[in-house]
Every structure is written in structure tokens, then in C-alpha cells.
Amino acid sequence: MDINRVIDYLRKYDGPPVKLMEVCGTHTAAIARAGIKSLISPKIKLISGPGCPVCVTPASYIDKCAEYALKENHELLTFGDMMRVPGNSGSLSEAKARGARVRIMYSPFEAIEKAKENPDITYVIAAVGFETTAPAYALLLKEAEAKGIKNIKLITALKTIIPALSWICENEKGIDGFICPGHVSAIIGSKGYGELAEKYNKPFVIAGFEPEHILAAIYELITAIEAGGRPRARNLYKSAVKEEGNIKAQAAIAGCFKEGDAWWRGVGVIKNSGLYINEKYSAYDGGSIGPDGYKEEKMPEGCRCGEVIVGRISPDECPMFGKACSPEKPLGPCMVSGEGACGIIYNNIER
């Protein structure tokens, strides 16, 4: 595909206004860094989707993690982008300042050695993510069981992307097509998007993360919309994504987790979109919260992260953006994570 011809076509597009959702936060970051919006027609609107796992993790989950970290003989292990996510009672960084034992991990497997070396400490892992990270937590559970390690617990906030996209297609009527997440798709494969395309009559395109990959995906979506007929799913990232996906990773997930309804911060309950530790590995469950535990969850007053997550508004359409809410003092989770749309847009604005 001639990328110059693609850019010329997208720049000159003068058809009906089109709204396309890039589901993955990594795509949002790539779009912002490459200035892709400046290369295409203003009639093509790119909006961010729910593909930031930190952003959709409920505030009550942060509170539960902090409670564990404050318990005697307990230590919480978490990835760094969870530290400043606001909970109902403050962030994990604030809990650490109050004396909570919180340590940033670079791999969940760090817990294995720590647990062996310190049998009197219970290591609680904040297991957050989509299908991309779920296999690692599954392998961790298998290894802990095989080695007889008992002092590891997981609090899960693991979610799956296809139910979320189905929810968006059902509830957000103004979206014309989707750029599908590359990393997640490498695990789950491309088949599920074809089923979504058939059901909702919208095009879905799997893309890589280089600017030319994203531009090619936008071109594919626009030409499919213009052509009319029955939309379909296309895989433009065949070097990483197969139709059947990663069978071994899928088997690892299926062996350790079970599906269930899950609460998405700013959205609500999405059916069968959560992964919970199954009965075989229940001894390692730190009390992961099902959707009933989040019924009273609300975003902070003035925060519109929920609308950003489902593509109703762009980050800069929120009145708090860059004012009451910034990366230094975030009001909502979308300003915190490296995959959060608000933080990405804020950090790529020229000042």
C-alpha cells in the first residue's frame, strides 16, 4: 500500500462525517505522537475507546489494594501506573505515604522469589489488565501451586475486550468503525471481530502501532464505509495476529480463570467481561470483587472520564481537562495511565 497515496486520500476525504474509535491506548499514544489527526480530513474524527485497563479499574479496587497494603505482614505489588489512580480514599501513593507497604513490580513473577524468601509476608498482587497480561498471571498461579507457595494472593481486575466492544456497539450509536487493539488481538485472534462486524454491520480493522499501520487502518475503514455493503473485519497486522490467536495463552487463561460480569469504571457492568480466579486456584484469590461490590461507584464530581472511555467526548472537551485535572493532580484515571487518553493528549499538547 502506497502510504503517500493513503495520506493524500485521507487528507482530501470530503464525504459524510465519520467517527472511528481506536480501542487501544497504545494506538491513542501513537496517533498523538505522530500527529496523525493533522494528516487527515477534519471530517474523520478519531476517538479513544476502553482499551486502557487502568482507566476502567474501579475506585473500590484501589481501596481494597490499599487495605491489604496497610495490613500487618502484607505487601502489595503493583505496576507503576496504578500508583496515582484515585480511589475513594486516595491513591496507592497516598496510602504508601501513610505507611502502607506498596512496592512497584516489573514482573508479577517477582512475587515467587519474594514469597520464598519471606514466608511470613503475604504478597498481594494487583492483577490488572486485559487478555494481554492475563496469561502471565495464569502462569504465576501455576508456578506458585507447583512450588507449594502459599503466601501469594491476587486481587484481580482482569477484563476482556470483545464484550466491551459489543457493549459499545449496543449503546454508543455514533461510531462508524473500529481500529482493533494489536496486542490483545495477538492473544485472542481475529475471529471475534468478524462476528462483531456481522452482528453490528460495522467494519473492524486490526492494526499495528507504527504511523503507517494506523493510517492504513483508517484508510481501510473509510473505504469500507464509503463502499457500503456488508462490513467485515480485516487483519492488517498478520505478522503478530493469527485468526486463531495464541492457543497456548488462551489455554493458560482458561485453566486458571472463569468468566463473569465485571464493573468498568465510568461505564458500569458489562456482561461476561471479567476474568476471575477459578475454583482450582481459589486459595490464591485475595477477595476479588464482583460487579455487586461496585454498584454505588461514581466518578468524582466534574470528571467525565466515563464519557471519554466510551468515545462520547474527546479529552479536551472535559471542562476539568488541564485545569482541575492534570497528570500532576489527576481527578480521574484517564489522566494517570500511560494508556489513558486524557494523559496522552495532555502530554502531547504544545505549550
Domain segments of the chain: what residues? 59-159+276-294
Nearest C-alpha neighbor of 36 from the set 183, 212, 206, 181: 212
Q: Which residues pair with 102 in a beta bridge?
A: 76
Asked if residues 330 and 86 have their Cβ atoms less than 8 Å apart, the reply is yes
pLDDT in tens, the chain (351 residues): 789 999 999 999 999 999 999 999 999 999 999 999 999 999 999 999 999 999 999 999 999 999 999 999 999 999 999 999 999 889 999 999 999 999 999 999 999 999 999 999 999 999 999 999 999 999 999 999 999 999 999 999 999 999 999 999 999 989 999 999 999 999 999 999 999 999 999 999 999 999 999 999 999 999 999 998 778 899 999 999 999 999 999 999 999 999 999 999 988 999 999 999 999 999 999 988 787 777 667 778 889 999 999 999 999 999 999 999 999 889 889 999 889 999 999 998 754
Model-level pTM? 0.93
Q: From the options 3.40.50.300, 3.40.50.1370, 3.40.50.11740, 3.10.270.10, give the CATH code of 59-159+276-294.
A: 3.40.50.11740
Tell me the helices (H) and strands (E) count for the chain, helix number first: 13, 11
Nearest C-alpha neighbor of 206 from the set 51, 8, 13: 51
What is the CB-side half-sphere exposure of residue 196 using CA atoms within 13 A? Answer: 26
Q: Which residues pair with 124 in a beta bridge?
A: 76, 153
